[in-house]
Structure 1
Amino acid sequence: MTDSIAATHTAATAHGPGRLRVYARLGKLDVYDYYLGIFLALTATLFPLDAFTARGALVLALFLIGEIAVLMAMVALDDVTGFRDGSDLANYGPDNPLRSKARKPLVAAALTVPQALRFAWVSAAAGVVLWTVAVAIAPHRPLWALAAVGALFVVSLQYSYGLKISYHGFQEGFLVALGAVLVIAPYGLLTGKFSGFLMVQAVLFGFGPLMFGVYSNTNDVAGDRAVGRPTVAALVSERGNAVFVGALSATEFLIGALASLTGTAPWWFAPLMLPATALRTRQYVTGFVRGDIMTARRTGFAVHRLSVVLMSVAGLLAGWEATR
């Protein structure tokens, strides 16, 4: 039923000058937060400066563009599934004025399902080609990095489509793992090594999207429950969800603190990240004490972007110290 509605109401923007804008919305290009992980890989490999070559820069560039293509495919397939099962119609419809329908071209009838699927599969194919070239010209090809990239590609396309991993209770863990692989894999291709400190940063990077994702899930409880999508927010009580999000916030801080205490990260890493910790605390208070979940979700983007800046500084400082 919903497919036929979209097919008969496809907006002119899907065929005119606004066509690219509609597809950009389908691919969520305005949400660039996962793409920022490339800066952590860059700062971790930049020193010594004379060892960072144009070849390395090209590998990072190709990996980033491939990453954008793969994630566009992932979110487009997520929109197709959300439209077909009705959850996006519930979460972005007239009964939920806090969510913009324009962000969902299928719900807004700006695209049909076949158009969205073609976009997704073309994007996925482009991602495969770009990542294959990046691997082919990389100075190193450690097995763990290749396995991580391959698994990331396969699992991303099954996130909400095909196997529908996010419909079987793995959504929150997937969001962290996705971010971590996008940081550590390109580092492996450039250095051939595994870095405990960068892995700590990679996990914290993955926490960023998780920590605005869980606020989105809190807002979308009704729609997710209606289609059986088992996010933690949909499975537990309102109080249980608040405890869960609070525990995640505390865990994020503890990961950095324990890394500094054990020597996995420099001693100054946890203090350096305190501004992000303070803003994360403010996010929780806004969402679960004041009850303004969508403002808290927006704060999550600011926390993530600040964390990337701070961790990039940490990578540069650690690299500089190692070469003194």
Structure 2
Amino acid sequence: MTTLFTAPTRVGAYARLAKLDIWDYYLAVPLAWSLCGPARDDPAALATLGLFLIGAVGVVAGAVAFDDVAGFRDGRDWANCAPRDSASAAAPPRRRLHRKPLLTGELTEREAVLFGWGATLFGLLVWTWTVAFAEHHPLWSVLLLAGCFFGAVQYSRGIKISYRGLQEVVLAGFGAGLVLAAVGLCTGELTGFAVVQAALFGFGPLLVGVYANTRDARGDASVGRPTAAVLLTGRGNRLFIAALTAAEVGLVVAASLLGAAPWWFALAMLPATGLRAAQLRHGVGYGDLAGARLLGLHAHRVTVSLLILVNLFAPLLGGH
């Protein structure tokens, strides 16, 4: 495949392979910190969270590198980067190729695979150290962390979970698992409100991914990658996205009404709810999938920021 342009540095190419500019999963760590209550000021807990974050960067970098390798091998990434009116176009726009250093020829397949294994091994070693170092290591937390590692590594390699119709489950479950595993290692405890917040965190990457998958449905279908956007009709997929959005908002409201969260929780989350409504309008209403994906990133970041504020101020306002 012809090299379209040369990167200024190979470091930049590896950084783009690792998708270091997309840091939304790593927000699980500050959210977990805010859920630690009195342990927030414990140096051991802070060190545990620091190690956890470093390990997460390695695991995620390895997972996305393997995903790029899989997309390069089966042609999915080339098809998805091509202009929307011609999947067989010979030269996709450079802006779409910028984050795919394998397609641009900046990195070879072998280099990407070695990077993926190196990052994965690094993440595994750091997470193992994190569990050994943590003051608390309940079995459920260790199992959650092991599940996150397995799901990330096997997402596009090995059993290829994302090629077996479970992509959406992994997108949400990985994020929720990170939050709960980190809280468990720092406190050894699990509350209903923490579970609610972990689920809301998981909705973040999920409600970014479903819009991206809708945009990439043609390329995914061509290689047999069965995302919801591939398996459902256009109308069915729109209903699926609307249902996910309603489920996230419904979880916030139900948590307030049923006592799992402070009574004012739903009011505090209104800015995030507004962004979700705008995302749904852009993506499902107007068909602006790129705009909806971007709004999804903003909505996730606002959601996490609001959750952290809720956790910090709830004791002062008579909450959990």
Whether the 8 Å CA contact 1:89–1:107 is kept in 2: the answer is yes
User: Any residues of structure 2 matched to 1:160-239 within 5 Å, and which?
Assistant: 160-239=156-235
* Pairwise CA distance, 1:52: 2.5
> What does residue 114 of structure 1 align with?
110
2:238 is matched with which residue: 242, 245, 268?
A: 242
State the secondary structure of the residue aligned to 1:106.
Answer: helix
Whether the 8 Å CA contact 2:262–2:319 is kept in 1: the answer is no
State the secondary structure of the residue aligned to 1:228.
Answer: coil
State the secondary structure of the residue aligned to 2:298.
Answer: helix
2:65 is matched with which residue: 76, 80, 85?
A: 76
Whether the 8 Å CA contact 1:55–1:138 is kept in 2: the answer is yes
* Pairwise CA distance, 1:215: 0.4
Distance 1:323 1:231 in 2: 39
Distance 2:4 2:131 in 1: 40
Seen in structure 2, the aligned counterparts of structure 1 residues 42 and 322 have a Cα distance that, compared at 3 Å, is: farther
> What does residue 89 of structure 2 align with?
none
> What does residue 154 of structure 1 align with?
150
> What does residue 38 of structure 2 align with?
48
| Per-residue deviation, residues 54-74 of structure 1 (Å, max 9, x unmatched) | 111110000001001000000
Task: Give the alignment's TM-score, normalised by structure 1.
Answer: 0.92
Q: Which structure would you say has the larger RCO, counting Cα contacts within 8 Å and 6 or more residues apart?
A: 1
Matched, 1:64 2:60: no
Distance 1:141 1:10 in 2: 49
* Pairwise CA distance, 1:287: 1.3
- Match of 1:225, as an amino acid? A
- Match of 2:201, as an amino acid? F
Distance 2:215 2:131 in 1: 40
Matched, 1:30 2:21: yes
- Match of 1:30, as an amino acid? D
Whether the 8 Å CA contact 2:151–2:174 is kept in 1: the answer is no
State the secondary structure of the residue aligned to 2:102.
Answer: coil
State the secondary structure of the residue aligned to 2:208.
Answer: helix
> What does residue 132 of structure 1 align with?
128
Distance 2:290 2:95 in 1: 9
Whether the 8 Å CA contact 1:273–1:310 is kept in 2: the answer is yes
Whether the 8 Å CA contact 1:260–1:268 is kept in 2: the answer is yes
Whether the 8 Å CA contact 1:11–1:111 is kept in 2: the answer is no
> What does residue 18 of structure 1 align with?
9
Matched, 1:253 2:242: no
* Pairwise CA distance, 1:10: 9.7
| Per-residue deviation, residues 210-231 of structure 1 (Å, max 9, x unmatched) | 1010000110011011011111
| Per-residue deviation, residues 292-316 of structure 1 (Å, max 9, x unmatched) | 1111111111101100110111111
2:311 is matched with which residue: 307, 312, 315?
A: 315
Distance 1:85 1:269 in 2: 45
Distance 1:119 1:322 in 2: 49
State the secondary structure of the residue aligned to 2:101.
Answer: coil
| Per-residue deviation, residues 186-235 of structure 1 (Å, max 9, x unmatched) | 11011111111011011100101110100001100110110111111111
* Pairwise CA distance, 1:318: 2.9
1:144 is matched with which residue: 140, 151, 154?
A: 140
* Pairwise CA distance, 1:97: 4.5
Distance 1:323 1:276 in 2: 20
* Pairwise CA distance, 1:176: 0.8
Distance 2:75 2:127 in 1: 34
Aligned CA RMSD, in angstroms, stands at 2.0
Distance 1:323 1:304 in 2: 23
* Pairwise CA distance, 1:274: 1.2
* Pairwise CA distance, 1:289: 1.4
* Pairwise CA distance, 1:48: 2.8
* Pairwise CA distance, 1:11: 6.9
Structure 2: where are the runs of 5+ without partners? Answer: 87-91
- Match of 2:28, as an amino acid? G
| Fraction of identical pairs, as percent | 46
State the secondary structure of the residue aligned to 2:226.
Answer: coil
State the secondary structure of the residue aligned to 1:144.
Answer: helix
Whether the 8 Å CA contact 1:92–1:107 is kept in 2: the answer is no
State the secondary structure of the residue aligned to 1:103.
Answer: coil
Structure 1: where are the runs of 5+ without partners? Answer: none
> What does residue 301 of structure 2 align with?
305
- Match of 1:127, as an amino acid? G
Whether the 8 Å CA contact 2:261–2:319 is kept in 1: the answer is no
